[in-house]
Amino acid sequence: MEFYGRCKRAAVLHDWISGRRLEEIEADFTTNAFAGRIEYGDIRRFTDLTRFHLQSASNILAVLLLDKNPQADLDILLTRLEIGIPAEGIDLLKVPLTRGEYLNILRSGVRNVAELWSASPDLLVGSLGKERAAQLERFRPKAKEQ
């Protein structure tokens, strides 16, 4: 049973870093309303434990693979576990948004900060809502900074 539990946690983490909606993950992995329920707190616990163990493993790898340290790839994976977004959305983390907002922006086709700032206002309003899109405008860089 422990093996199946680990497989289920790995599947939950895969869906989390792939950018699936929280509600979908909870619905797909909850067996019934009374036992085996998967909620946001469980997902956070899985990600935190995984990040802890991966960080320790990366320290060991750094010693073993002195000439080939995969630390950059591991850092991206650790960030994806923490936030819960696909790898193509890592650049968007430079802008302060929530996980759901990052995912909405990614679903609209925006993959990086440059594309975000060059996106039409209608796209931002459609992805974030009118009020949040207006708040995001405060972080827009000046013309020469883009």
Mean pLDDT of 117-127: 90
* pLDDT at 7 exceeding the cut of 80: yes
**Distance (Å, whole) CA 103 – CA 118:** 18
84: alpha, beta or left, given left = phi > 0 and alpha = psi -120 to 50? left
**Distance (Å, whole) CA 144 – CA 110:** 21
Could you tell me which residues come within 8 angstroms of residue 132 by beta carbon, excluding any fewer than 6 positions away? 101
**Distance (Å, whole) CA 108 – CA 105:** 5
For residue 142, the model assigns a pLDDT of 74
Is the separation of the CB atoms in 78 and 50 below 8 Å? no
How confident is the model over 35-88, as pLDDT tens digits? Answer: 778 999 999 999 999 999 988 888 787 777 766 767 778 888 889 999 999 999
Mean pLDDT of 7-26: 94
**Distance (Å, whole) CA 136 – CA 105:** 12
Mean pLDDT of 22-33: 89
For residue 11, the model assigns a pLDDT of 96
**Distance (Å, whole) CA 100 – CA 128:** 9
Residue where the block lists tokens 């497989």: 7
Model confidence band, residue 32 (pLDDT cutoffs 50, 70, 90): confident
* pLDDT at 144 exceeding the cut of 60: no
For residue 103, the model assigns a pLDDT of 95
